[in-house]
Amino acid sequence: MCVGLDSDITKIPKHLLQEVDPVFSFNKAIIDATRDLCVSYKINTAFYEALGVKGWETMEKTVKYIGDQHFTIADAKRGDIGNTSTQYAKAFFEALPFDSITVAPYMGADSVQPFLEYEGKWAIVLGLTSNKGAADFEMKKLVAAEGQSSNYLFEQVLTTVSGWGTPSNLMFVVGATQAEAFVAIRKITPDHFYLVPGVGAQGGSLKEISEKAMIKNDVGLLVNVSRAIIYASDKEDFADEARKVAKEYQSEMSTYLG
């Protein structure tokens, strides 16, 4: 399980607003309450960037507080021409000590490659996302050559991008709301891990994705749950309630994914 720290200052418990750094105080309590129940934390950078310099300071404090016992994800969805992606990679892998970053592959290989050049770091490339807008492009059929079957755009992305890195530095985002697609996706990328958002508030089913993702002993799913855990309560018991919900998800994951 991955706990998503999509920490919105307008949604955290009101009593924390008197703290010097309300969002960090919130994150610290959530992390302390869930450390033993998850293997990863995903920080959605937008919620921190929106707060300006102070938000970046909060993000840095948070990722350092998580430490090196958990896999850390910068959910930043970066991806630009090569020299710009190089700077993004430096920002999140050098200036900030993240283990991985989510990357948009739309601009091609040179926009992704800089993230793959760091030993021990991961690029998590958008494959098939959980939002409704995935239908606008990702789920469009490509025109096939005569005598060949046509692929969805997301299938072409997975096929092409998997050749840019290895299962040791590259994984894919596959939304939990796209359960029917997991069978085809696992055939295309049999050895890669998937970051799976969309469980919980977005309605993705753990049971469905675990049945269709064909998990092997050393290849599986990093299932992210954000809002359902961190906003389990808006009262002073928020950390205790977050732990209860996280434990429920962890138990369910053990049943389906163990």
The residues annotated with a catalytic role in the active site are 77
The pLDDT tens digits of the residues spanning 115-144 come to 999 999 999 999 999 888 988 999 998 876
Strands 2-5 and 40-44: parallel
pLDDT band at 145, cuts 50/70/90? low
Q: Residue 241: CB partners within 8 Å, gap ≥ 6?
A: 232, 233, 235
The pLDDT tens digits of the residues spanning 172-220 come to 999 887 778 888 898 999 999 999 987 766 666 777 777 766 566 566 8
For residue 200, what pLDDT is reported?
63
CB neighbours (10 Å) of residue 153? 15
Residue 223 has pLDDT above 80, yes or no: yes
Residue 89 has pLDDT above 70, yes or no: yes
Residue 88 has pLDDT above 80, yes or no: yes
The domains located in the chain, with CATH, are 2-257 (3.20.20.70)
Mean pLDDT of 79-100: 97
Q: Residue 73: CB partners within 8 Å, gap ≥ 6?
A: 2, 40, 41, 42, 43, 98, 99, 100, 101, 102, 124, 195
Give the integer Cα–Cα distance in Å for 77 and 148. 33
Between the two ends of the chain, the Cα-to-Cα distance in Å is 11
For residue 218, what pLDDT is reported?
61
HSE-up of 110 (CA within 13 Å, CB side)? 5
- Which of the residue ranges 95-104, 158-167, 180-189 would you say has the lowest mean pLDDT? 180-189
Give the integer Cα–Cα distance in Å for 74 and 31. 16
- Which of the residue ranges 7-16, 89-98, 187-196, 239-248 would you say has the lowest mean pLDDT? 187-196
* Cα separation values, 92 from 43, 100, 150, 181, Å: 11, 8, 37, 31
Residue 51 has pLDDT above 90, yes or no: yes
- The closest alpha carbon to 129, from 188, 185, 178, 73, belongs to 178
